[in-house]
Amino acid sequence: MSTKPFIPYGRQSINDDDVAAVVAALRSDWLTTGPLVDVFEQAVASRCGASQGVAVSSGTAALHVATAAFDIEPGDEVIVPSLTFAATANCVVYQGATPIFADVDPETLLVSPSDVERLLTERTRAVIPVDYAGQPCDYKTLARITNTRSLHLIADACHSLGAELNGRPVGTLADATVLSFHPVKHIATGEGGMVLTNDSVAASRMRCLRNHGMNLDARSREKAGTFGYEIKELGWNYRLTDIQSALGISQLSRLDSFLAKRRDIAARYSDAFLSRKDFTFLATRDGVRHAHHLYVIRIADEMPDGMRDMVVGRLRAEGIGVNVHYPPVHMHPFYQRKFGYGPGMCPNAEKAAKRVLSLPLHPGLDDDAVERIIDATLRTFDHLM
Ligand SMILES: *Cc1c(COP(=O)(O)O)cnc(C)c1O
């Protein structure tokens, strides 16, 4: 075992300004939904080129209010990639609808638009592509598929805040765009998430759904001097707090420096790995400005099965917190049991899931840590050859 400090694969970066912002919020009149939620919503929306931001308590809650506001309901099908975090599909199941798993492109691990097209049925209501590792999917093709059939396109952009496709920011590429502010993501609020959209009707419905489905929140009731409210439809308590929003506003002002740091580290990894034959890194599509949430390497097809697990074991033993993103969602016991899914449904995702690993990537990694990770990775592979 190594005595050097453990390097996590992802981690928040909190400075004195972030701390001061949270302390100021704690001393203010509002701890839960107050004026800072509005400020945070407008700041993220304007950074991402959207007119509306709806802040909620997690990325998962953001996915859920988006599917609910677009009336996804029992009997409906929603197409999602299998190589994602379970929340992308769970939100469909929360609404009583059926997630249909599309396969990914083997070079980028982004959802394959042709597989999405193959899976369309009379019941399809929405598609939720995932900007895996931080690069936007092929939204041009996906939007053509969804627009011609009046389907909803909901971008799961939990990996891609700050990314662009052909000069257009993530936040403008789909009908609604979902962000997460979990500590491993680009900016942190502890737990937190947001839906971005230009659809003001959908946005106000989502604001209602995040607060039990009430027509007036506590602050509007106080302002109006009224105690009355109505439950318009069934919602949840998915509110983000002003404390969290204070942190989010401060973190957002640091987003460009976070993105630059991630971009630098990813470039150093790619330079160091360029000539490897035993593993590769993922391709970046033309026109993409990458947000580098994850740095994923993939064991070459010629290398034996089981090599990935050995690499993960050895790197972790050296204190390098590598991770695997993700077990294909259709293979989880719940999805096999409830929907009868299983092996063979998404061959590219199933194959990739056995061969990928994510190296640490976050703004807190200094030059020495990056050197240590590169050195340990190259040594581990050389040794296993
Ligand atoms: C992080 C993440 C989510 C969920 O976000 P939480 O804030 O943890 O609920 C959803 N989808 C993807 C692809 C994610 O990476």
pTM (predicted TM-score): 0.97
pLDDT confidence of residue 2? 52
Arithmetic mean of pLDDT, 20-49? 97
pLDDT confidence of residue 270? 98
pLDDT grade for 166, boundaries at 50, 70 and 90: very high
pLDDT tens, residue by residue, 38-68: 999 999 999 999 999 999 999 999 999 999 9
Tell whether the model's pLDDT for residue 340 goes beyond 90. Answer: yes
pLDDT confidence of residue 222? 81
Look at ligand 1, atom 10, and give the residue with the nearest C-alpha: 87
- Collapsed DSSP state (helix, strand, coil) of residue 257: helix
- Collapsed DSSP state (helix, strand, coil) of residue 165: strand
Name the residues annotated as catalytic.
185
Q: Is 200 exposed, middle or buried (0-12, 13-18, 19+ CB in 10 A)?
A: exposed
Arithmetic mean of pLDDT, 153-161? 98
Arithmetic mean of pLDDT, 130-153? 98
Our mutation pick for probing the ligand 1 site, out of 44, 80, 180, 236, counting the most ligand atoms within 8 A of Cβ, is: 180
pLDDT confidence of residue 233? 94
pLDDT confidence of residue 253? 98
Look at ligand 1, atom 5, and give the residue with the nearest C-alpha: 59
Contact 60, 81 (CB under 8 A): no
Mean pLDDT is lowest, of 84-88, 158-162, 218-222, for 218-222
- 22: which residues sit within 8 A by CB, 6+ positions away? 243, 246, 247, 250
CA Rg, the chain, in Å?
A: 21
For residue 96, CA distances in Å to 79, 90, 153 come to 14, 10, 19
- In percent, the amount of the chain with pLDDT more than 90 equals 94
Ligand 1 centre and the CA of 85: distance in Å?
6
Give the ligand 1 atom nearest the CA of 60: 9
Arithmetic mean of pLDDT, 149-169? 98
pLDDT tens, residue by residue, 84-127: 999 999 999 999 999 999 999 999 999 999 999 999 999 999 99
Give the ligand 1 atom nearest the CA of 63: 10
pLDDT tens, residue by residue, 355-380: 999 999 999 999 999 999 999 999 99
- 306: which residues sit within 8 A by CB, 6+ positions away? none
The whole-chain average pLDDT of the chain stands at 96
